[in-house]
Homo-oligomer: A and B are copies of this chain.
Amino acid sequence: MQHTIGFIHDLAVIMLIAGIVTVLFHRFKQPVVLGYIAAGVIIGPHTPPFELIGDETSIHTLGELGVVFLMFSLGLEFSLRKLVKVGATAIVAALSEIVLMLWLGYEIGRAFGWKTMDALFLGAMLAISSTTIIVKALDELGLKRERFAQTVFGILIVEDILAIAMIALLSGIASSGSVDAGSVVITLARLMLFMVVSLVLGLLLVPRLLQYVARFKRDEMLLITVLGLCFGFCLIVVKLDYSIALGAFLIGAIMAESRPLHSIERVVAPLRDMFSAIFFVTIGLMLDLRALVDHAGPIAVITVAVVFGKILTCGLGTFVAGCDGRTSMRVGMSVAQIGEFSFIIAALGVSLHVTSDFLYPVAVAVSALTTLFTPYLIRAADPLTQRIANILPRPVVSLFSNYSQWLSNLQPTGDNAAVFRVVRNIVLQIAINLALVAAIFIGVSYFAIRIDDWVNARVPDERIQNVLWWSAALAISMPFLVAIYRKLKSLALLLAEISVRPAVTGRFTTSIRYALAELVPAIAMFGVFLWVVALSGRILPPVDLLIAVLACAALLLVVLWRWFVRVHARLQIVLRETFDHNQDHG
């Protein structure tokens, strides 16, 4: 009871002060998110008269829920199709931003005479922008549905993915003192695999389930189901050591393809508003005005570096990837801040005992300051672009437009474009099926290790155990393997059609095409087999038994070929229906 009263007290203080401050901010046409942060500063422990809340831990926990709901709502409003559209731009811009900011941060740290590790962690802290801040700011300014915003969201997703690799890299460097590129690649590969598998499985199951629950027409049950799926998925993601924000975004994107999308958005909005308000207040809570004075020099320099560095690096990356100057400027000015990820990196350095104590308060101060600037920067983007365009000398302007021209000429057109699209589609489908096969084998291995004791008691011979596990994995993968083979074959046929020209090969054309169309898939499938063997690791049976299993599998294939094709086709139809429905809505 006492705990509850303290909790209500904290909530009351936060909501009352946040309410008053945000009404004032709104009255004077300032962004509401700044009002929340200002409320946090007023409430916080570092500002007189005294700390107004009792239990900061509980409030920070609720703030984390705010991140979950913000990212989940972002996912709900996101469309996977749009992501594919901005994919290339996002990757180029995010890579440009991360690499250059990492370098810039490192150099700044060295220039201040900090030790190598502090400088390195500073670089990492500056690399990634704050998704939550940007989403909130764009939402408030009414720009969330603009085209440049889609590019920004694409960049943020790529950054989130790369951030996970960066944490792996930093942990490795901190503990061993050297860079282990291999582990980073494996981390990234695992992450991509996880994302593909959860998207495919999620899209198969979640929209159907939600539609079933929505039929009862009771908001309460829909809400509880949505929350259960959201938190449940976040939990899996966190257990796999990925960020909770990524998980919330993914499950949101999956639910975005479900029919009761509008009801879900309606019931989740108040929860997002309440918890995200708490989240932004917690940012203000952490802002120590005295730390601003103590480390005024570094904070000022780093803040300037973040703002200008990000505008330049990310804006440049966006421009290089083919966007026009106005869009590039808007993208660059949207991402010019650091946020929650920087706190994670700073906390990582502290927990590994490799960074100095001052790094965390500096990170918080820079984050708070750059967050303060964000809404103003976004609003300033258009006027600034106009002014720059006016003062730039003519040759520079024409150089820029020539670059855009040249880049758009690089895009395939006409027949080539059609072939390119078909090939890309087939390659994408093969990749997804490969990912599912990999997930099945890795999943079965993981499961096999988990119930080792139980199995040992029943099947003592480990060789037989492996045969059983491996056969099971192979059997489940069969529809996907069959699909891979069929896609490979059509890809080979298409490529043979294009590359083997009758003018060169004469009367052998048909046979050469035929040979290619048969040979290439066969060789590729052998590659797939080797890959599966490499993946199955502990559950791989010895060679003699493996051959026996493969023989059985071949027999099964001959008998059940058509059935496997049908199973895969049905799964594909389900997925496509989910998307088509959404297209009707969008």
Contact = CB atoms under 8 A, between A and B. Distances in A.
Interface of A (DSSP majority class): helix
* Integer count of this chain's copies in the complex: 2
A416 to B, nearest CB: 49
Interface in A210-225: 213, 216, 218-221, 223-225
Interface string A129-164: 000000000000000000000000000000000000
Interface in A1-39: 1, 3-5, 7-9, 11-12, 15-20, 22-23, 26, 32
Contact of A231 (B8, B20, B22, B61): B8
A224 B273 contact: yes
A439 B221 CA distance: 45
B220 A32 contact: yes
A380 to B, nearest CB: 23
A231 B270 contact: no
Nearest to A9: B235
A277 B65 CA distance: 17
Contact of A26 (B16, B26, B216): B216
Given A3-B61, A19-B224, A225-B19, A219 B12 contact: no
29 contacts: A4-B64, A5-B238, A7-B61, A7-B64, A7-B65, A8-B244, A9-B235, A11-B231, A12-B228, A12-B231, A12-B234, A12-B235, A15-B225, A15-B227, A19-B225, A19-B229, A23-B216, A23-B225, A26-B216, A32-B218, A219-B269, A219-B273, A223-B270, A223-B274, A224-B273, A267-B269, A267-B270, A268-B270, A271-B274
Given A4-B61, A19-B229, A223-B270, 20 more contacts: A3-B61, A5-B238, A5-B244, A8-B68, A8-B234, A8-B235, A11-B231, A12-B228, A15-B225, A15-B228, A16-B229, A19-B221, A26-B221, A58-B58, A58-B61, A220-B277, A267-B269, A267-B270, A267-B273, A271-B271
The 10 tightest CB contacts between A and B, nearest first, are A15-B228, A12-B231, A16-B228, A19-B228, A4-B64, A220-B273, A15-B227, A19-B225, A12-B232, A267-B270
